[in-house]
Structure 1
Amino acid sequence: MPSRYEQQIEDLLAQYRRQRDEAVETRRRINETTSTATAPRQALKVTVGAQGQVTALEFPTGAYRRMPPKELADLLLTTIQQARAEALKKVDEIVSEQLPAGLSLSSMLQGQVDVKSLLPEEPVMPETAYDAVVHTTQGETRG
């Protein structure tokens, strides 16, 4: 029968493995994220990946041929920005599932999160595990 400390270590390792598996799954979902925005009158469709990189440009109609260069350039920029904003929103939803309640990726990216409130000075762990760590780091061993 495992000791109390051994069981706590096993529990912590199991928790770590679950969190790691969740992180791998989250990364996979983020990597698969795309977003497509369509400009007015179907003049342009832009698809971007999770990091906002343009992966496809389509001109479903011939409307772009009748546009002055400046208008076409503005349409490209606006449509790309829309696709990127939607991709970021999707990634935010995916990541927010793994974050503590009330916390979002966008708030973190905008610098609106106090990191000290997320990561306290002392890690949260059962008192017995904390005692074991403190005694081990002070050179004491348990028998």
Structure 2
Amino acid sequence: MTDSLEQRIDRAMAELKATQEAVARTEQELRDASFGAVSSDRAVRVTVGAQGELADLEFLDGKYRSMSAQELAASVLEAAQEARVRVGRHVMRAMAPFTEASTGVPELRGLDVDWEKMFGPEVVRERDGAAGRSADAPWRDALGEDGEE
């Protein structure tokens, strides 16, 4: 037996209301989120807010005292970039349910989000698990490094 148009509309409205409530909860959770990262040389810890804004910067163990300005800047940039990537990945995970089509109401398709355009390719790229600094990190240019160790 097929559902009447009225039943389908009621089901769609109920799912829409549930989605709106879930979006509101997710927005609140994302507004309150912050993420930190430590530079690979363990000299700097950076915390960024949900929009990628710098919220805190710590110089760890006095290591900055023996670093050149370029080295310290590279450490700050590296940690800030990693923290921003973590924010983007968190947003992607939190928003994932809203990108999927409804199983109960096929007419309600999920959001189409270009995560790479929104957050950059680093966020959608799978982590390779490699330790240390990546060879293509932009901060290497500041130090005159080309990624070859």
Question: So what's the TM-score if we normalise by structure 2?
Answer: 0.60
Amino acid at match of 1:72: L
Larger Rg: 1
Question: Over aligned residues, Cα RMSD in angstroms?
Answer: 2.6
Secondary structure, counterpart of 1:40 in structure 2:
coil
Map of 2:122 onto structure 1: none
Q: How does 1:23-62 map to 2 (within 5 A)?
A: 23-62=23-62
Structure 2 vs 1, CA of residues 60 and 95 (structure 1 numbering), >3 Å: closer, same or farther? same
Unaligned runs of 5+ in 2: 102-109, 120-149
Amino acid at match of 1:109: M
TM-score (norm 1): 0.63
SS of 1:42's equivalent? Answer: coil
Q: Which has the higher helix share?
A: 1
1:58-107 residue CA offsets vs partner (Å, 9 max, x unmatched): 11210011111111111111111111111111111111122117976525
Q: How does 1:1-143 map to 2 (within 5 A)?
A: 7-100=7-100, 106-107=115-116, 109=118
**Equivalent position amino acid for 2:35 in 1:** S
Structure 1 stretches of 5 or more lacking a match?
A: 111-143
Q: What is the number of residues matched between the two proteins?
A: 107
Structure 1 pair 108/13, CA: closer, same or farther in 2 (3 Å)?
farther
